[in-house]
Amino acid sequence: MRRLRQDDPLWIGPYAVLAGVDEEAEQHRTPDRRYVARSADGRRTALVQVPHPGADPARWAAEAEEARRLALPGLAPVAEVDRAAVPVWHAAPYTPVLPLTAALAAHGGPLPEAVVRALGAALARTLATAHARGVAHAGVSPAAVLLGVDGPLLACFGAVRAAAPEGEQRLGRPGLDPGCLAPEQAQGGRPRPLGDVYALGAVLSYASTGYTVPEREELPAFLREPVTACLARDPARRPSASDLAAGLSAPLPPRPQALPGPLAPVPTVLDGPPFPLPARIVAALARQSADVLVATPAEHAQETRP
């Protein structure tokens, strides 16, 4: 998390803002402005989001409503949407998560193969579920991947659609990662499922190298074929999300079995979270959780309580 700046809001709807989620250096590639915030009565902590200044608020809010309606497993939840507010916003209950960009920073570099495989398979399954319903996510990027101990959540639903309508060039629009824009979407084409696959290939490249558009030789051997296929300029040459999930899926190492009986230790995230996260990322999530627990709204926010 980062401290608030002068241009950050102190209140978003009924929530007092505590901290920003994305570091300033990453905000140009993040389609939403994301904050950890707390309700005025102090009982609820939420992840609250407002659109990037370059996005159309009406289209952004419509995409948030669609994400709330879909409520797919693996899709970042949207519990509240206020389309009448200025700025428009949406929120969901807070759980400790790190954007993929922050996760790589916490880990100190690209992620291990087992983590990248599990990450790719989980994201591909989420996309395959959406695609089976005829829905393109249209917002896949490293900033859209939120890592928690239970696995990744895919946020920023519809960011490409919100950035510009069909027929208008999207390359260079604020909040969009150019390395994750499929060529047909960059030129204003309608976002379709195979555009999500292109973006997922760029995300897996980032997770394993730190770059969304690396040279083939920079990719680890297990990713060279699938990522090259995902990043094909011709959509017809890209794999489906379900095929990609099947190719990346691999059995996870067995977790240690606790001894039976009343003295058996209660497992914690330090004993190995359900999703195979490196220890430094688990530690960063624990620090974030502790920081949020003790955070208080800025003094000025308390004075200007709505």
DSSP helix/strand/coil, 91: strand
Query: How high is the pLDDT of residue 215?
Result: 87
Q: Whose CA is closest to 230, among 209, 191, 204, 206?
A: 204
Where exactly are the structural domains of the chain?
A: 11-95+288-294, 98-248
Angle, vertex CA 297, rays to CA 294 and CA 301, nearest 5: 170
Q: Per the CATH hierarchy, to which homologous superfamily does domain 98-248 belong?
A: Transferase(Phosphotransferase) domain 1 (1.10.510.10)
CA dist 253 and 270 (Å) reads 16
Q: Whose CA is closest to 152, among 179, 116, 128, 177?
A: 116
pLDDT of 115 > 80? The answer is yes
CATH top class, domain 11-95+288-294: alpha beta
pLDDT of 25 > 90? The answer is no
Mean pLDDT, rounded, for 181-199: 96
pLDDT of 303 > 70? The answer is no
Average pLDDT value over all residues in the chain: 89
3-state secondary structure 5-52: CCCCCCEECCEEEEEECCCHHHHHHCCEEEEEEEECCCCCEEEEEEEC
Query: How high is the pLDDT of residue 172?
Result: 83
Q: pTM of the predicted model, to two decimals?
A: 0.89
Q: Whose CA is closest to 76, among 157, 191, 139, 197?
A: 157
DSSP helix/strand/coil, 151: strand
